[in-house]
A and B are shown apart, each in its own frame.
With several copies, the nearest count.
Chain A
């Protein structure tokens, strides 16, 4: 039965053997892998670089199938984009554990030169391929993916020298797939986290990063924070000691700064003292304007928010976001626009009215969700979160997963802050619900229309159409 308890060494070995049956990877010698990590320079120790920084570090998104192309891409982002931290984004087949298909795609890419995969198939590249990548660039690299069952990916990439791994049992399940059971993904991620914990105990800190933006579209901060806290707690149980909690920009300056503060404070509070908590801010994850100049404006608002809120890390977007995967040049441009704004603003003392009030509201809301989760699980966060999603007491808007009710619907208030229009069964205290409803009523009055799903639809499209709030009358309003 699922419990939030640490896997034993036996469990770890047993599962490790089982997952390697899925795809023939070379035997991984844990001692040798630890020795490899120990041989890396301090500048490639992900957790150290992130935790010691005195300013927000910038990290783009990037992944192509072939090793030499991935090296070229990451070097470009280091040189032309001055990225502080690098990513390696994994392809979709690997995310579905279809290593055979990934292998075919990789071979096709090698033969034809065309990229038939949408990312780097790290399992297929194997430990040696990963190490070549690690050795070919200066900055530390994180594995970014979207894999519900990432056990084999973790085993290979950890041994391959990666020291940071995005995702978690909720954040890489609920927003990404339809049919994975939450209890199952929690079990799978217990292995990932336990493996990270095992390296950590040997002095090789593996940084773990729950995927904060979830469905990327108007996610109320309290929901994103609760999911991150649960995943952080689950990881800590398995021995993870470096957790980066994530949050995706909603576009309202006060709410975004407040949410990042709440995220950090609740992270410190809910995670054990021996866990070092850092935060990551994702530039806008929703729809982008189909125009690089306007897209740069969206990116710049994210950068300005980061300059004021000072998260430990910022995941940047590119001005080509609307068109899918950006060129490496556009990717570097997103980094440079972001850096220019952060470097011009971060030394300024900028304090906004209302941040503390909004932070308190976000914190109270997140606590209301966390109390319910822990209560449902009788203080076992793993059981509690499964139960909470089953009953809709914890919920994510626009989630494709059958494991979530997806009854929550968000909309912006008259100031552009993301509030909740439909709660479903979300476990928010009535006084907190009233605040959401009041704010949306105020907007409805200002727009002379009913509080309705039409606001949601309008808000989803607003930023790509050049506004924050989806006011009636559309683009020209």
Chain B
């Protein structure tokens, strides 16, 4: 397995803790990871997906402006003739909106999966493997859920 995952925090958000941990977790799970870091623009994501032949793009946002920052993102990806899996996770809504509604909105925008800020890396990894049809070894499963 050597699926490539593009990872970054979108917009002017500078929260680095989450993607640092996610990068480590993805690497440990056997993915090739391209970490764009914080304050990454839509075009940086798209260029990286193109250059590294990314199989998945993981967008993180923790400062409440994800919707604005992601407007037109999937159109740009399509325009570049790419078709990666796209996930987004973090504090995605402003205020006290129910997460179910938030998820629906981001699914409509084109994201394949939407996660809240309590999501553990293991969940994202399990989702990636499921969506990419990568079999988990028993050992990996045990480690990830421990």
CB-contact partner of A409 in B24, B37, B39, B120, under 8 A: B24
The stretch that binds B, out of A67-75, A233-241, A338-346, A395-403, is A395-403
The contact size tier of chain B is 10 to 19
A residues contacting the other copy or chain, number (CB 8 A) = 21
Per-residue CB contact flags for chain A residues 427-469 toward chain B (1 = under 8 Å, else 0) read 0000000000000000000000100111011001000000000
| 11 A-B contacts (beta carbon < 8 Å) | A217-B17, A399-B16, A400-B9, A400-B16, A409-B20, A452-B28, A454-B28, A454-B146, A457-B24, A460-B17, A460-B21
Please determine whether A453 and B28 come into contact, CB atoms closer than 8 angstroms: yes
A454 to B28, CA, bound (A): 10
Q: Which residue from B9, B25, B37 sits with its C-beta under 8 Å from A457?
A: B25
CA distance A399 to B14 in the complex (A): 9
- Determine if B121 is an interface residue (Cβ-Cβ < 8 Å): yes
Hey, which chain B residues are within 8 Å of A399, CB to CB? 16
Q: How far is the CA of A409 from the CA of B15 in the complex (A)?
A: 16
Q: Which residue, B14, B16, B28, B143, has most C-beta atoms of chain A within 10 A?
A: B16
User: B residues within 8 A CB of A179?
Assistant: 39
Q: Does B38 have its Cβ within 8 Å of any Cβ on chain A?
A: yes
Chain A residues packing against B (C-beta within 8 Å) = 176-179, 215, 217, 397-400, 402, 406, 409, 449, 452-454, 456-457, 460, 472
A397 to B21, CA, bound (A): 11
Inter-chain residue pair count (beta carbon < 8 A): 48
Separation of A399 and B17 alpha carbons in the complex (Å):
8
The residues in B between 50 and 104 inclusive whose CB is less than 8 angstroms from any CB of A are none
Is the Cβ of A453 less than 8 Å from the Cβ of B16? no
Expressed in whole angstroms, the Cα–Cα distance for A457 and B28 within the complex equals 13
Tell whether A398 pairs with B16 under 8 Å between CB atoms, given A178-B37, A179-B39, A457-B121. yes
A99 to chain B, nearest CB (A): 17
**Binary contact track B15-33/A, C-beta < 8 Å → 1, others 0:** 1110011001100100000
The 6 closest A-B pairs by CB, nearest first: A453-B24, A400-B38, A400-B16, A178-B39, A400-B14, A398-B17
**Residues of chain B contacted by A406 (CB below 8 angstroms):** 16, 20
Contacts known (A215-B16, A452-B28, A472-B146); A457 close to B21, Cβ less than 8 A = yes
CB distance from B131 to the nearest CB of A (A): 22
Instruction: Select from chain A the residue with minimum beta-carbon distance to B118.
Output: A461
Bound complex: CA of A158 vs CA of B15, how far in Å? Answer: 30
Chain A residues with Cβ below 8 Å from B21 are: 453, 456-457, 460
CA distance A406 to B24 in the complex (A): 12
Bound complex: CA A456 to CA B24 (Å): 10
Inter-chain contacts of B17 with A (CB < 8 A): 215, 217, 398, 460
A449-B146, A453-B28 known; A176-B20 Cβ under 8 A = no
Q: How far is the CA of A161 from the CA of B132 in the complex (A)?
A: 57
Q: A452-B28, A453-B21, A453-B24 are in contact. Are A402 and B14 (CB under 8 A)?
A: no
Please name all residues of chain A whose beta carbon is closer than 8 Å to the beta carbon of B20 when the two chains form the complex: 397-398, 406, 409
Contact B25 A453 (CB under 8 A): yes
